[in-house]
Structure 1
């Protein structure tokens, strides 16, 4: 059984969650979470490293005991310790953490005091008013749980983060392309549109007719398949181990473009395109564009769009949110590309909660082809991550200066990720902030204020002339934590008035600023920084996530500050 890195990560996190619910040694819990994070950041498959008998304890954050546990997971597909924990505690406790704001500690409290062990138990206790009486909850938390439960039920099965779905999508593409006679493999659907989460994968394949049976046999035999739902001549469906459904269709070469358009969606976009076709006397379906019984287009997506008088529309824009008219008027934006990016404006080293040294992060950025990388360690408020006080910041700046002397054509920017305190003040003195190249201001604590107070808090922080970038503006964690209650429209206007840049944080579970607000910000004249918030050299590759989100937000090169040269960027960072 070949487990993907994200599957190994999930098993380690499950152990950590159950240990924390059991009130186990916090250092032990932290060790599992740290190992899970290291695994998530690794670009090489851990299963391949184990197979090659590599010593995993050489990776910072993985000790010898955890290295042995990871080897056990790879070799057996499971972990004996996790099996014992699942016998000791109800497995359904893990389901409670689908509800935003319910982490292991609060889940443990609900289980210990109210016997809540499932989502059904949770709803019953909330509607009876029992949760409000628990220490650390209250009426507002209870109502929030009731509302969140409704969203969890409505969404049904938990959707995978786009980056997790990408691991399986790419493994499938590579696997299927190795089959003799296969010409094309493409994953369509919400994955191709770059949505934040993915519910299933639609895979299209073109091949010779004599190879169709081979393709279908290979597909249902794929290593990651958990269940086979159907196995036909040109269509099969399976469930992969994470619960992800994959539908594979073999399509004729002549219909490839029409099928790719149809299965990419969105539904609203496709309906709008079909309406245009009807107005011109055509019919569009997954097989092609037809005038009566005659197929007039469909080999490529460009043909499909041209048949209804439109220029090609990038998949990320296909939501029927203005792209049809823009294509008709030939004014679609030239969306951001990876080659446009000149640097990254948010990262951490092992000086706080990162895994790489300054030198390692710098060389990683140079390998990405960057001109600059902003080192933005946490400030003192984030004590758990070893946040820096003012004296330590000044010392660290000297260290960065010394390292920069070794480089030509590249520069480490002296930055900090400074916490926004509850009253809107920044966590470090202005006299220190004034000496930095840039300051990312973020909310990490007290995220449950009401909308008015939270909005005022953030705007007051932006009033500080040394606030250059507002980091992960909503503080959401996709599938885990709801966004803060803030008036984003008011914050966007405040950012415009003050010359503050908004961050699009590329961490897979953040993608924050959300794409819809990226579009609003750009249209308001507010610039965006697409940054990875990298905690390791490997994390710098997360720029791909940020670019996908930026494209969904209609962002162009001109909307994004880190497409500028170093000298241009430094000019932009000067507040008016």
Structure 2
């Protein structure tokens, strides 16, 4: 099991790995080869830790913001990258230098096509796979997809048009599994689907599991666990859902469909006595589950999706707590189940008391229609009150970025007067006066000190020059943080998930500067940003920097973004004491005053 790292340098490396998209042909080649090696090893039932090592390495390399070939050219020791090590570093060098892998060549030679992958498709048993292989020369998923599109599969004895279409849907869903969806898109799919399943009356309990429940910053497919004594009724309701585009498979206790938004949904129905075990199993992560099974084996127990068993007798399974208790552990929050030290912490009684929604007292990053928001100042304050917030900071944009219609000194002064008037009325959350000020290319701020000094807080953010070299971006941020009126560094990496890579800078130096200055960093809950994400939250904690969980709300409905920021904070092991806006208003004012 992995130990949670509290070393800023290691956490910064993880941030760098997670921040970017694939860069360069070398990286693409290594990722493709490592992914295929992992698949073929899995087919051979190789050591799961070895399989996971290649999968994790492929994920890490795919997130690098620099080409591996360039790293080797300047003498970088690849073994120092998180999750790589000497053996994998050697294989990366081999691929970079030769374009191929001796190990992959051997595995391909030993494995006949992708027969095991074909066998995993619903409706394909050994005889059908044998017929596809010999009659249509189908050896891979891509071969099967091509044959089905050309209607050659349906002409085989024992198949037919309906089976052909089901296989094509299943193959396409499998090939598309790596597509990821933002959390807000996933939520819009989840909420009506779960309401529909509840309405059938056959579900005793149900939950969305998988990466959605763990709070990953993006979601692949959806996994739903249902407890029911009438599984067929649940399956029937699931298949009848109005937003279903196609059915991949349907059985007596499980089914898979594709929704209109192209998300795959996998449903599993179990008896109530196994619901907790199924929820643990489907929530994952895979690495966490593997480590749990090893712990069970060490105790002479068997753990699977149906429960915990001792000599064939079930001793736990009804709820998740019983599963962990049977292994001598307290319940572990889903956000922590990534095999990053949570099992050791649970065993040693050192799990964090994660920050909760009820701990959040206010929101320190809110926009109105005075800049690029939709709703008025009063509408945003009233919405914050309805959501139970005690205070909020209005942080409209500064003027430099023209598209946001930012506030100059005179408009900011007028807004301050409006805030004073609303605060005087009472009955609403307390409004703090702030600004989201642009950090200019040279690190200076977009408004003069005389203006910034009259505010309660200043939120600094990068909105341009995202591609500066790492040393210049670092210098830019350090100069901004050193400004006498600087409270919070907002969405510091400026990433837009799936659209724009994260900025590159020395995260350890920047977070250290925030700590020395007494300034804070933001965990922005806007689903396209989620910046900082879990690793950045851990770096903030280890650096002694308070985290502001913020909605970046631009309309009254956006306060729900606080939940996404909270999830990243929980994934980053943050407790209430690590979060700035869990403080009472008086304590918050005292902290902010030191930054102004």
**If the length of structure 2 is used for normalisation, what is the TM-score?**
0.70
Counterpart-to-counterpart distance in 2, 1:156 and 1:515: 23
1:412 lines up with 2:431 in the alignment: yes
Alignment partner, residue 536 of structure 1: 555
| Structure 1 residues 156 and 216, CA gap change in structure 2 (3 angstroms) | closer
Aligned ranges 1:521-560 → 2 under 5 Å: 521-560=540-579
Shift of 1:265: 0.4
Shift of 1:335: 1.0
Counterpart-to-counterpart distance in 2, 1:277 and 1:186: 25
Tell me, what secondary structure is at the counterpart of 1:319?
coil
Gaps of 5+ in 1: 1-98, 103-118, 120-141, 148-153
Aligned ranges 1:247-286 → 2 under 5 Å: 247-286=266-305
Counterpart-to-counterpart distance in 1, 2:317 and 2:187: 27
Counterpart-to-counterpart distance in 1, 2:282 and 2:488: 38
Counterpart-to-counterpart distance in 1, 2:201 and 2:440: 60
| Structure 1 residues 382 and 274, CA gap change in structure 2 (3 angstroms) | same
Contact 1:465 1:575 in 2 (8 A): no
RMSD: 2.3
Shift of 1:350: 0.5
Counterpart-to-counterpart distance in 2, 1:281 and 1:356: 60
Q: Which of 519, 540, 543 lines up with 2:538 in the alignment?
A: 519
Counterpart-to-counterpart distance in 1, 2:373 and 2:206: 37
Counterpart-to-counterpart distance in 1, 2:533 and 2:233: 42
Counterpart-to-counterpart distance in 1, 2:497 and 2:440: 24
Deviations 1:510-534 (A, max 9, x none): 1101111101211221100001010
Gaps of 5+ in 2: 1-19, 29-64, 71-174
Deviations 1:472-495 (A, max 9, x none): 010001111110011212211111
Alignment partner, residue 240 of structure 1: 259
| Length, aligned pairs only | 432
Counterpart-to-counterpart distance in 1, 2:176 and 2:501: 14
Aligned ranges 1:212-231 → 2 under 5 Å: 212-231=231-250
Shift of 1:360: 0.7
Alignment partner, residue 350 of structure 1: 369
Contact 2:381 2:428 in 1 (8 A): no
Counterpart-to-counterpart distance in 1, 2:400 and 2:428: 34
Deviations 1:308-358 (A, max 9, x none): 111110000000111111101112111111111111100110011101111
Tell me, what secondary structure is at the counterpart of 1:346?
strand
Alignment partner, residue 379 of structure 1: 398
Counterpart-to-counterpart distance in 2, 1:553 and 1:403: 36
Alignment partner, residue 465 of structure 1: 484
1:397 lines up with 2:386 in the alignment: no
Shift of 1:392: 2.2
Shift of 1:143: 9.0
Counterpart-to-counterpart distance in 2, 1:454 and 1:156: 35
1:299 lines up with 2:299 in the alignment: no
Counterpart-to-counterpart distance in 2, 1:337 and 1:502: 19
Contact 1:101 1:481 in 2 (8 A): no
Shift of 1:545: 1.1
Tell me, what secondary structure is at the counterpart of 1:548?
helix
1:163 lines up with 2:195 in the alignment: no
Contact 1:101 1:480 in 2 (8 A): no
Aligned ranges 1:74-473 → 2 under 5 Å: 157-208=178-229, 211-408=230-427, 410-473=429-492
Contact 2:494 2:531 in 1 (8 A): yes
Contact 2:361 2:583 in 1 (8 A): yes
Counterpart-to-counterpart distance in 1, 2:449 and 2:386: 34
Counterpart-to-counterpart distance in 2, 1:284 and 1:490: 44
Contact 1:348 1:377 in 2 (8 A): yes
Alignment partner, residue 71 of structure 1: none
Shift of 1:156: 6.5
Contact 1:338 1:544 in 2 (8 A): yes
Counterpart-to-counterpart distance in 1, 2:584 and 2:340: 32
Of 445-454 and 479-488, deviating more is 479-488
Shift of 1:158: 2.7
Counterpart-to-counterpart distance in 2, 1:336 and 1:439: 24
| Structure 1 residues 155 and 479, CA gap change in structure 2 (3 angstroms) | farther
Shift of 1:409: 6.3
Aligned ranges 1:43-82 → 2 under 5 Å: none
Shift of 1:369: 1.4
Counterpart-to-counterpart distance in 1, 2:336 and 2:177: 25
Alignment partner, residue 591 of structure 2: 572
Contact 1:462 1:498 in 2 (8 A): yes
Tell me, what secondary structure is at the counterpart of 1:378?
coil
Contact 1:504 1:511 in 2 (8 A): yes
| Structure 1 residues 488 and 397, CA gap change in structure 2 (3 angstroms) | same
| Structure 1 residues 421 and 101, CA gap change in structure 2 (3 angstroms) | farther
| Structure 1 residues 370 and 265, CA gap change in structure 2 (3 angstroms) | same
Tell me, what secondary structure is at the counterpart of 2:395?
strand
Shift of 1:574: 2.4
